[in-house]
Structure 1
């Protein structure tokens, strides 16, 4: 497969699903997303997601099963979501405006980044 892989982590705890509010770019600022980022050359999806969540949230995670379908983004990028389990640390917003725990019933009320919106049914199922 060619193109850039972007990974997102669905961290679910007794408090719900962790979502992050974007700071940038301007057109996405204030919108909510699953935290994550680009997989670097030589990394697996799991390695890239664990690194991104360490950088963005200050936590260590175990990456689990895929969640939902790939989302094709502009500029030859593919977005993938994975279930993750926090193994160390407490999430802090290092790279986001805010973090929030949400329940399944709140998923439809969030102002999501467009790319993550398609995962709402999968996220709702994972939260039940």
Structure 2
């Protein structure tokens, strides 16, 4: 759970992250199973005070979930919460996976640096790469 939040605050934050547009207080109330919208107001205010959510001035129904910066401490805390047998299993899986151990069958990028599978990489393969500046058909 996100550090420093109550269960209800965390539930509201999770609900807000799942929404495309900001829901109304009534929609948040129903989603959380609260008796009144004043409870939603208290939860929203707490999330704003703790820096998890911000409002956009001059606009109604506009809450934006703030993405916290990823820090070494946050990564260390997350790793500490994962059981060691799961970490060991993942490392063993990566040792067997050609994509992780450098034995991949093809490059992850084209010669110009485009990621494989993108439109730019396909254009590079068909001799019309705008970054390369040459035309392989002429060669």
TM-score after normalising by structure 1? 0.22
Could you say which structure has the larger radius of gyration?
2
Higher strand share: 1
Higher helix share: 2
Question: Larger relative contact order (C-alpha < 8 A, sep ≥ 6)?
Answer: 1
